[in-house]
Structure 1
Amino acid sequence: MLPLQQFRDFIEQEQLFWQGNRILLAVSGGKDSVLMLHLFKAIGVDVGVAHCNFNLRGGEAQRDESFVALLAKKLGLPFYVTHFDTKKYAAEHKISTQMAARDLRYQWFEEIRVKQQYDYIALAQHQNDAVETVLINLTRGTGISGLHGILPKRDRLIRPLLFLNRQQIDELVSTNNMEFVEDSSNASTHYTRNKIRLQVVPHLQEINPNLEKTFAENISRFAELETFLNAEVQKLGGKILNQRSDGIYISLAEIARLNPQKLLLYELLKPFGFSESLIQEILDNLKALTGTHFFSATHQAIINRDDLVIVKKNKMVAANQFIHPTDKSIVFANHEIFLTFTEEIKFATGLNKAFVNADKLIFPLTFRNWQNGDKFIPLGMRSLKKVSDYFIDEKVPLHLKATTPILVNGNGEIIWIVGMRQDNRYKLTTATKKVAIFELKIK
């Protein structure tokens, strides 16, 4: 007999899916996925069967594909299959074969789910898989999320066999005379997971014969702990992460008060790609000079006086952009500047517009980043001032210095520090006949 009531109870308890949902089953042909397929068929859920051939085991892989195709046909279920050049993908992406297979199958499962309008993807992982995953994560180093290992549900992935262990699955397959295929690579200790399964877990089971049950209970506790931590971090982020147009500001004083400091700062900055080692480096340099940088793959953190500022890397230095009198707008990094002309001699106050004497313009004009040695005459003044000194006087954060567009005339003179200050040489006078209006909009 199949444990149908336990299966239904687990689905309901974990809220894996709802009545009327369509489920795409990942079926390799092994015991686990074959049992999962029969359980779903027995409770009358609308399912389809998906099989990946990774072309790693020659004729054995083709045997598995044929077996799953025939099984789906016998049960009257839709069958989807794909073939991967897994070794080529692994080499191109410089990852292990196992990781390549994982990436390829998840990408393809999601494509089929969307295309064929399934609600969820079911994977046949069980309690022993969860134990192995936690042990692998602990061996390699992990945070709290790694301690809960495999969750019953994450986004569109569900794992409805996590109420069973490997021995129970073996017994169910045997007593119900289910046909299956055996993956010979499961006996190889070449793979990390197999080493854990074949060489480590048996010794742990000698210490604790109920190892799978104990780990299942611990995993549940760790998952609840992660949920609690995420909720607390979200509340904390709402208090100390100050979102501004130019980046996210965190008071250094607030960082110093965090307790536990490293854990909370890591969780706050994890979405921006900062590793634990980078977090430690930031904490070691909270009293560093303004301008100290820390880089993740996608962002940078900058010490700016009393704050740590997080900005995207793509908001940094941009290529020069040229503007001609016929241009209506120009895009520079995350800024868009519009140009209009008028013969009505008037101007309005505000930092996002510059009203320039058009008769003095030498086209093409240039939008570029600030450069060392730049000088201009601030509006209302008579002598040249270094742009760097102006930035210091105005307390402009370092990352804004790097991203603020500078409008330069054809003769090399600065016309406008965009969004901040116009040059006095290009102001409107009683002799002005035509006005060029530059207006800034941040995208």
Structure 2
Amino acid sequence: MPYNLLEHFQNHINNTLPFLKSSKLLLAISGGLDSVILTHLCKTSGLDITLAHCNFNLRGIESDGDQKFVVDLADSLELEVFTESFDTKAYAESNKESIQMAARALRYDWFQDLAENLNFDYILTAHHADDNLETFLINLTRGTGLEGLKGIPEINDNIVRPMLPFSRETIEDFAVSNQILWREDSSNASTKYLRNKLRHDVIPVLKELNNNVLTNFKNTLNNLNDTADIVEESVQAVLKRAIIDIDDTQVSYKISEFIKVSNPKAYLYEVFKDYGFTQWTDIVNLLTAQSGKQVFSATHQLLKNRETLILSELKTKEDLHQNEGSVIINNLENEVNVLSGVLSFETVTNIDKSDASTVFIDKETLKLPLTVRHWQEGDYFYPLGMQGKKKLSKYFKDQKLSLLEKQKVLLLCSQDKIVWVINHRADDRFKVTNQTKSILKIKLS
């Protein structure tokens, strides 16, 4: 009995993806074999689909021909269709990306915009079993961890791939037997790209060696995904013990929890792989390095601070530029926004509760304007209650501040004198004495 793709597709929807039957769906269509057949399968199965086609303007008249084909197909099937034209080459150049990566970013951004603005529940793409094998082999040849060998996810947030169990061969057989036309992308014949080289030169050999390669591959993926679940459970158990603190800017991990596991490198990889790190030997060495040692990715830094690892996001150039700018305070009547909160000033008659976020100053010792700025190497102050001056770098060391904590420290200054190391300690030169006539309360909230 011949293979009935439509029947198997409908069974797959009913058994695995039943939520699609009551959803509003946006179907990504190029005009090629896979997406055209997905369109016919969905339409015949009674799913509520709308088509979305990207014209990347990469193949001249051929690209325009694809768009016309999709519009005509939508018309013949009485489906709504959205089309969008992109200057893909210009986008790739301005973002310093390959054409392939640029096209991917453009299409998925547009699909998500359509889904959000027009209330589509899911975006359907026509990835199939051969695509899955190609992706697996690409990741394998480039080097990857378990995550890269799990294959293309069938459901990824609002993106669903209902054709993933089916081979390219069965899809093409269905098209031919039902006399369904599609567009051939001439660039697919080129072996310039790794995916095409695998498609034309490698996978046919694998199928020749074993005609059950896709079935066996699917079983392998199931096994790998089961293993990944076990790994995830183990990693989460370690993280539960290791994470000491999380805030908006950083996460702190207890080093001892990584040292006590049987394979620290494996756990460190699973914990930090999504932050762009690649220097895994250096990260393992952080566990025993001296305090202050750092490892950087393009977006994050990992800092050894005594008995902890501290993960934080690297600031963009724009953020750094903004942070470098000091805040000038010309009067003491208004609240002032600073990077770490809001400074308020209040003239009071007596000193009440004082803590790290509140100081009391002899108002007459201040000279306006005041300045809030980051500390700099060479800065010194006279710590309240101590004799003599002290370099801030020495004070921070005595207070056992981490590198990241030091980077966040702000100073309130009067002319060139530090009034308050904000949230830490006031300067003795501005303290309230028996001769003080006006007391100023300064609070960071």
TM-score range, shorter chain: over 0.9
Q: Report the secondary structure of 1:57's partner residue.
A: coil
CA distance in 1, matches of 2:333, 2:167: 68
Q: Report the secondary structure of 1:255's partner residue.
A: helix
CA distance in 2, matches of 1:91, 1:301: 31
Counterpart check, 1:320 vs 2:309: no
CA distance in 2, matches of 1:94, 1:157: 26
Of 5-14 and 47-56, deviating more is: 5-14
Q: Give the corresponding residue for 1:288.
A: 289
Equivalent residue runs for 1:127-276 within 5 Å? 127-245=129-247, 247-271=250-274, 273-276=275-278
Which 4+ residue blocks in structure 1 deviate beyond 6 angstroms? none
Q: Give the corresponding residue for 1:309.
A: 310
Q: Give the corresponding residue for 2:337.
A: 331
Question: What one-letter code is carried by the residue in structure 2 that aligns with 1:117?
Answer: N
Kept in 2, the 8 Å contact 1:329–1:337? The answer is yes
Deviation readout 1:332-383 (Å, 9 max, x if unpaired): 33x0242222141223121110111111001111222222332222222232
**Alignment partner of 1:401 out of 383, 403, 406:** 406
Displacement, 1:274?
A: 4.0
Question: What one-letter code is carried by the residue in structure 2 that aligns with 1:57?
Answer: R
Q: Report the secondary structure of 1:47's partner residue.
A: strand
Displacement, 1:253?
A: 2.2
The 1:332–1:311 alpha-carbon spacing in structure 2 relative to 1, beyond 3 Å, is farther
Kept in 2, the 8 Å contact 1:233–1:264? The answer is yes
Q: Give the corresponding residue for 1:423.
A: 427
TM-score (norm 1): 0.93
The 1:16–1:419 alpha-carbon spacing in structure 2 relative to 1, beyond 3 Å, is farther
Kept in 2, the 8 Å contact 1:2–1:39? The answer is no
Counterpart check, 1:383 vs 2:384: no
The 1:9–1:435 alpha-carbon spacing in structure 2 relative to 1, beyond 3 Å, is farther
Of 71-80 and 96-105, deviating more is: 96-105
Question: What one-letter code is carried by the residue in structure 1 that aligns with 2:304?
Answer: I
**Alignment partner of 2:73 out of 63, 71, 74:** 71
Displacement, 1:289?
A: 2.3
Kept in 2, the 8 Å contact 1:122–1:158? The answer is yes
Gaps of 5+ in 2: none
CA distance in 1, matches of 2:296, 2:427: 35
Kept in 1, the 8 Å contact 2:382–2:390? The answer is yes
The 1:16–1:28 alpha-carbon spacing in structure 2 relative to 1, beyond 3 Å, is farther
Displacement, 1:46?
A: 0.8
Q: Report the secondary structure of 1:149's partner residue.
A: coil
The 1:58–1:372 alpha-carbon spacing in structure 2 relative to 1, beyond 3 Å, is closer
Q: Report the secondary structure of 1:17's partner residue.
A: helix
Displacement, 1:169?
A: 0.9
Deviation readout 1:374-412 (Å, 9 max, x if unpaired): 2222222232222222222222222212211122112x2
Question: What one-letter code is carried by the residue in structure 1 that aligns with 2:259?
Answer: A
Kept in 1, the 8 Å contact 2:294–2:302? The answer is yes
Identical residues among aligned pairs (%): 36
CA distance in 2, matches of 1:142, 1:232: 20
Counterpart check, 1:346 vs 2:351: yes
TM-score (norm 2): 0.92
Q: Report the secondary structure of 2:35's partner residue.
A: helix
CA distance in 2, matches of 1:59, 1:247: 51
The 1:360–1:88 alpha-carbon spacing in structure 2 relative to 1, beyond 3 Å, is same
Deviation readout 1:63-118 (Å, 9 max, x if unpaired): 21111111111111111111111112122222221221111111111111222221
Kept in 2, the 8 Å contact 1:120–1:156? The answer is yes
Of 75-84 and 260-269, deviating more is: 260-269
Kept in 1, the 8 Å contact 2:9–2:41? The answer is yes
The 1:11–1:416 alpha-carbon spacing in structure 2 relative to 1, beyond 3 Å, is same
**Alignment partner of 2:363 out of 358, 362, 384:** 358
Displacement, 1:2?
A: 5.2
CA distance in 1, matches of 2:313, 2:261: 24
Deviation readout 1:260-314 (Å, 9 max, x if unpaired): 222211221234x24232x321212433222112222332222212222223333
Gaps of 5+ in 1: none
Q: Give the corresponding residue for 2:31.
A: 29
Question: What one-letter code is carried by the residue in structure 2 that aligns with 1:310?
Answer: L
Q: Give the corresponding residue for 1:117.
A: 119
CA distance in 1, matches of 2:389, 2:157: 59
Counterpart check, 1:434 vs 2:438: yes
Paired residues in the alignment total 437
Q: Which one has more relative contact order, counting CA pairs under 8 Å at least 6 apart?
A: 1
Kept in 1, the 8 Å contact 2:251–2:312? The answer is yes
CA distance in 2, matches of 1:385, 1:6: 77
Q: Give the corresponding residue for 1:38.
A: 40
CA distance in 1, matches of 2:352, 2:417: 21
CA distance in 1, matches of 2:430, 2:13: 72
The 1:205–1:4 alpha-carbon spacing in structure 2 relative to 1, beyond 3 Å, is closer
